[in-house]
Amino acid sequence: MGNYKLVALDMDGTLLNEEKLISEENRRAIKAATEAGVTVMLCTGRGVPNIMSYVDELQLKSPIVAVNGSEVWKAPGELWKRVTMDSALVDRMRQIALRHDVWYWAYSVEGVYNKNNWSVDAIDEVKWLKFGYHIDDTDVLASVRGELASWGALEITNSHPCNIELNPKGISKASGLREVCALLGLEMSQVVGMGDSQNDLEMIRAAGLGVAMGNAQEEIKREADLVTVTNEEDGVARVIWEQVLGR
């Protein structure tokens, strides 16, 4: 067992089961960890409005890394750092979606926009955080991803094999966790990072213990220090009990 002081949890596919619920066993393990002095925090691609009900459920007062690292919250309700995306880039990404006729969405400080509620007139007035596509056609997916990569201006990941998620260059869950470690006086070697998708990869690589869920994408499993059981089998709880609390 390592000297782990911080547990950073992805949400969808990791902490949450397929019904988007926190299991009783995961809840019990998180409570035991916090009572033992370990900081347990959420590190997610979600925006804060879609996080807070879970924060409240777990009674967490810890930092939050949201929107794949574009926001770092010192504590619930206390923003520490926010990195926004250039509106010209957002417009270019939207034009790709229109050209290929694929679903797109974007997180902003003001709310979530998508193909159905996009406001062209507001694009320069909005503070953009993340852009995304969902593309079922693998050839189109590869083509879009290749075009985006050629710009050299974005962090390109996914939270599902059929989507693409874009953040400002240099922004990831790992960059957010480094901010949190600086706030808490910890080293990345003291962090357990758990996830299942490409947007968790940099966190898993950077953490002292990088954990892939049993349901994780194969690339994530190959890079992880440890592969646990699935999100349907309380993988988060197993890692906390065995690796963090040594029970």
Which amino acid makes up residue 36?
A: A
**Closest Cα to residue 132, out of 141, 119, 120?**
141
**Strand 64-66 to strand 71-75: parallel, antiparallel, or no bridges (unpaired)?**
antiparallel
84 contacts 169 by C-beta, under 8 angstroms:
no
User: Long-range contacts for 52-58 (Cβ within 8 Å, ≥24 apart)?
Assistant: 52/76, 54/11, 54/15, 54/16, 54/22, 57/22, 57/27, 58/22, 58/27, 58/30, 58/31
Beta strands in 92-179 (DSSP E): 103-108, 112-114, 128-134, 154-157, 163-168
Calpha distance 201→196 (Å, rounded): 8
One of 10, 196, 200, 234 is an active-site residue; which one? Answer: 10
Is 10 catalytic? The answer is yes
Contact status, residue 105 vs residue 93, Cβ threshold 8 Å: no
CA–CA gap between residue 61 and residue 64 (Å, rounded): 9
CA 36 to chain centre: 25
Catalytic (active-site) positions: 10
